[in-house]
């Protein structure tokens, strides 16, 4: 019996960058985006990830993506989740950091040096007024036609949902923390 499988690669007739939104109150939005980065690696695509709100607590993806270098680059630009989990930084400082992240993303878009650009937690950043909706629309307008852009985070703005090509909502059905189980490495961070 022959156990070999023939795998064929699909190539679209027209390559086009997509705008993807992953939103909702469930766990797995960033994880889904990281999966896209991993999948892109398999195709030799370069992915840049800019995390808008994470940065004060270690997360495994920071070291995990180093294993995918040079195809995946991650910038954690935030000061953590604004206003929750005992985060000590004032809103103004979170906003300054988020504005710096907007400048970084604009620079990445102008140099056009990646195939996929993931803006992690940008939906939350809009909702919390750390960045403004017109700024994000401007970034989408700067996106080269071949580049994929992935926007993650709760509370995606309806205008962005309208502009996106693909929108997925992650819905919580059950979560371990509701049973007082602490966050677990590799699953929660």
Q: What is the pLDDT of residues 132-182, one digit of tens each?
A: 999 999 999 999 999 999 999 999 999 999 999 999 999 999 989 889 999
CATH superfamily name and code, 19-171: P-loop containing nucleotide triphosphate hydrolases (3.40.50.300)
Helix axes 133-142, 91-111, angle to 10 degrees: 10
* Contacts of 131 by beta carbon, 8 Å cutoff, 6+ apart: 52, 95, 98, 99, 101, 102, 122, 125
Structure tokens at 164: 């996106």
Residue 56 has pLDDT above 80, yes or no: no
CB 47 within 8 A of CB 23: no
Q: What is the pLDDT of residues 63-116, one digit of tens each?
A: 999 999 999 999 988 777 766 667 678 888 889 999 999 999 999 999 989 999
Map out the domains of the chain as residue ranges.
19-171
Looking at residue 186, its pLDDT comes to: 83
pLDDT for residue 53? 84
pTM for this structure? 0.89
Position 10 scores a pLDDT of 83
């Amino acid at each position: 019996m022959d156990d070999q499988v023939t795998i064929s690669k699909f190539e679209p007739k027209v390559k086009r960058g997509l705008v993807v939104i992953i939103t909702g109150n469930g766990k797995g939005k960033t994880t889904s985006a990281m999966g896209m980065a991993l999948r892109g690696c398999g195709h030799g695509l370069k992915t840049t990830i800019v995390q808008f709100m994470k940065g004060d607590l270690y997360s495994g993806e920071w070291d995990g993506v180093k294993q995918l270098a040079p195809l995946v680059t991650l910038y954690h630009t935030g000061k953590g989740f604004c206003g929750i989990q005992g985060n000590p930084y004032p809103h103004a400082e979170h906003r300054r950091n988020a504005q710096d992240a907007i400048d970084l993303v604009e620079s990445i878009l102008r140099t056009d040096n990646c195939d996929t650009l993931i803006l992690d937690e940008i939906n939350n950043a809009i909702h919390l007024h750390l960045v403004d909706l017109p700024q994000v629309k401007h970034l989408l307008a700067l996106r080269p036609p071949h580049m994929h852009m992935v926007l993650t985070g709760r509370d995606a703005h309806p205008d962005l949902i309208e502009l996106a090509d693909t929108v997925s909502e992650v819905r919580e059905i059950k979560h371990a923390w509701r049973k007082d189980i602490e966050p677990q490495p590799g699953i929660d961070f």
